[in-house]
């Protein structure tokens, strides 16, 4: 039986996927409300295909509880934020989960850490917890790192089709866990050592952050001298060996805006490009704010209450708001004492999360003169005609209406 610890954006779909592929699974989360929701037959976030997968897993017998189970395999999928001061990974949730596992696990058990961690985290923080409980690693307890790559919005498909990495101390244990993931994963699964697996995951997200930063920097350069960054990127990408990403209002979510900082924190004198890239991306919400003020001046708009931010999530068609550029903008506006004046709307966020949040697109548009498109949800793409007559600042390059302002 597999005990999946942490039933959030990663742990829940992983547990459901395994259960619906014939693996006996119990999911554990210390959040009682979350476990009660799952036990009442409801999923806890929106994701294509998740409800169907949930139904299959429940039919196959998956259980949800707040209790850690006595079993031979644990998968730990708890958050790994970074320390805002040191930039290093904050492994406290992983350590707490492993400590709790040590209280119940029998000898011979395997602990798989799925959470993203910086290279050396398992050695520094996880091994000592296991050893402090009197276990010999590799003899009494096996340790594995199996980082996850799926992207919100396409999780179910990617769980099935992505390639995976398994890091283990010895090949036999690695192959055993590879077999477990092969119950559902149709991609290639590479078995390597733990530190390599830790580093690959962080490097993958860092690669993406640096490339996004390059596009964002181009947007700033082009704005400075009134050049069209989108036209320039389009032409450059016709070169057979150039593939520039699109600029945007910033980076959010639990991965690309977080993981690269681990390398900056651990290698401050070496990770220079990464450090600058993260600062560039983190500076984009303020860049958008400046654009708003420029446009307000140009259009003679003086009332910030007539400005509306479309989109609260960090990417399109998901309900995950963590670290989103819109939240970063609101925080920045708060410091300038106008954070609670702008209107905000997102079709994926039903609960009131920020001041002046509206819940109907038409009412939102009627209440504002300037709309800032921060997320390219399908809803707005399908309703672009409703923006006619509005001043539009489009940070995602999705609005083709005449007179639209861009980054």
Residue numbers at the binding site for ligand NAD (CB under 6 A):
5-11, 28-31, 34, 77-80, 93, 96-97, 100, 115-116, 148, 150, 152, 253-255
- Beta carbon of residue 228, minimum distance to ligand NAD (angstroms, whole number): 32
**175, 190 Cβ separation under 8 angstroms:** no
Residue count of the chain, please give it.
407
> Distance from CA of residue 117 to its chain's centroid?
14
DSSP secondary structure code for residue 386 in this structure: G
Among the listed residues 178, 255, 315, 399, the single catalytic one is 255
In 3D, which of 389, 329, 341, 382 has the Cα closest to residue 365?
Answer: 389
Looking at the Cβ atoms of 162 and 356, the one nearer to ligand NAD is 162
Q: Which of 87, 201, 315, 343 is catalytic?
A: 201
Sign of CA dihedral 379, 286, 263, 206: positive
**Phi then psi for 98, rounded to 5 degrees?**
-65, -40
Closer residue to ligand NAD, CB minimum distance, 9 or 287? 9
| Residue indicated by tokens 């031979």 | 72
With respect to ligand NAD, which residue has the nearer C-beta, 164 or 291?
164
Q: How far is the CB of 149 from ligand NAD (least distance, A)?
A: 6
Task: Establish whether 399 is a catalytic residue.
Answer: no
Radius of gyration of the chain from Cα atoms?
23
Nearer CB in complex with ligand NAD: 255/373: 255
Are the beta carbons of 390 and 369 closer than 8 angstroms?
Answer: yes
Residue closest to ligand NAD (Cβ)? 8
CA distance 72 to 69: 9
CA atoms within 13 A on the CB side of 116: 28
The answer to whether 343 is a known catalytic residue is no
* Shortest Å distance, C-beta 31 to ligand NAD: 4
Any idea which residue has 């506006």 for tokens? 333
If the CB atoms of residues 321 and 407 are measured against ligand NAD, the closer one turns out to be 321
C-alpha closest to that of 256 among 194, 322, 197: 322
Smallest distance, ligand NAD to C-beta of residue 77, A: 5
Placement of tokens 């559902």 in the chain: 184
Return d(Cα 246, Cα 229) in angstroms, integer: 9
Smallest distance from ligand NAD to CB 38, Å: 10
Identity of the residue, 64 or 405, whose beta carbon is nearer to ligand NAD in the bound complex:
64
Shortest Cβ 207–ligand NAD spacing (Å): 14
Catalytic positions:
201, 255
């Amino acid at each position: 039986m597999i005990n999946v610890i942490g039933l959030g954006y990663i742990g829940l779909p992983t547990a459901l996927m395994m259960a619906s592929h014939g693996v006996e699974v119990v999911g554990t989360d210390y959040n009682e409300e979350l476990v009660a929701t799952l036990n009442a037959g409801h999923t806890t976030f929106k994701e294509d295909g998740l409800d169907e997968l949930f139904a299959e897993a429940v039919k196959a017998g998956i259980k949800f509880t707040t209790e850690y189970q006595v079993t031979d395999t644990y998968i730990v999928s708890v958050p790994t934020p970074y320390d805002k001061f040191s930039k290093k990974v904050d492994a406290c949730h992983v350590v707490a989960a492993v400590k709790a596992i040590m209280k119940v696990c029998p000898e011979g058990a395997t602990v798989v850490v799925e959470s993203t961690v910086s290279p050396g985290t398992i050695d520094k923080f996880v091994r000592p917890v296991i050893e402090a409980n009197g276990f010999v690693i590799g003899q009494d307890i096996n340790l594995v790192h199996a980082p996850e790559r799926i992207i919100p919005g396409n999780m179910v498909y990617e769980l099935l089709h992505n390639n995976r990495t398994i890091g283990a101390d010895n090949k036999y244990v690695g192959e055993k866990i590879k077999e477990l993931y092969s119950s559902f994963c149709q991609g290639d699964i590479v078995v390597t050592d733990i530190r390599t697996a830790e580093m690959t995951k962080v490097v993958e997200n860092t690669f993406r952050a640096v490339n996004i930063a390059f596009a964002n920097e181009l947007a700033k350069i082009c704005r400075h001298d009134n050049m069209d960054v989108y036209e320039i990127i389009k032409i450059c990408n016709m070169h057979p060996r150039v593939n520039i990403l699109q600029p945007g209002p910033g980076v959010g979510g639990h991965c690309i805006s977080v993981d690269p900082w681990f390398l900056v924190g651990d290698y401050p004198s070496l990770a220079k490009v990464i450090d600058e890239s993260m600062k560039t991306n983190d500076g984009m919400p303020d860049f958008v704010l400046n654009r708003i003020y420029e446009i307000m001046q140009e259009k003679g708009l003086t009332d910030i209450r007539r400005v509306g931010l479309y989109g609260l999530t960090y990417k399109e068609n998901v309900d995950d708001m963590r670290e989103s550029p819109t939240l970063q903008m609101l925080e920045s506006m708060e410091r300038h004492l106008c954070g609670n004046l702008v209107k905000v709307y997102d079709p994926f966020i039903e609960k009131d999360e920020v001041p002046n949040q509206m819940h109907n697109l038409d009412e939102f548009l009627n209440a504002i003169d300037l709309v800032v498109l921060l997320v390219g949800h399908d809803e707005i793409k399908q309703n672009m005609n409703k923006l006619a007559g509005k001043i539009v600042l489009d940070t995602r390059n999705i609005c083709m209406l005449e007179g639209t302002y861009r980054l």
